Amino acid sequence: MEVLRQARGQLAELTGMEAESVSSFEQTEEGWALEVEVLELERVPDTMSLMASYQVELDAEGQLTGYRRVRRYERGRSDARRGGR
């Protein structure tokens, strides 16, 4: 759990955006790989807010070694690419 907290904090520090959740994570040979959901643009109503998923890589000590945005979407829309999950 500490690794997840560190990743969210480091990503927020670099991007200036707060991470809302970690949607996936796995241990790799180099450390950790996570997908983090971030609020990019807050709108009214909230279901129209613009969200993004970031792929985040951490080393074995939990230090962020890289990140990239992999998709953007409106909070209120299902993701057809992933079968609506």
Please provide the average confidence, as pLDDT, over all residues in the chain.
89
- In the block, tokens 């209120």 appear at 76
Domain boundaries, the chain: 1-74
The residue ranking higher by pLDDT, 83 or 10, is: 10
8 A C-beta contact, residue 51 and residue 37: yes
Decide if domain 1-74 falls under CATH 3.30.505: yes
Q: Which of 70, 83, 18 is nearest to 49 (CA)?
A: 18
pTM for the model: 0.83
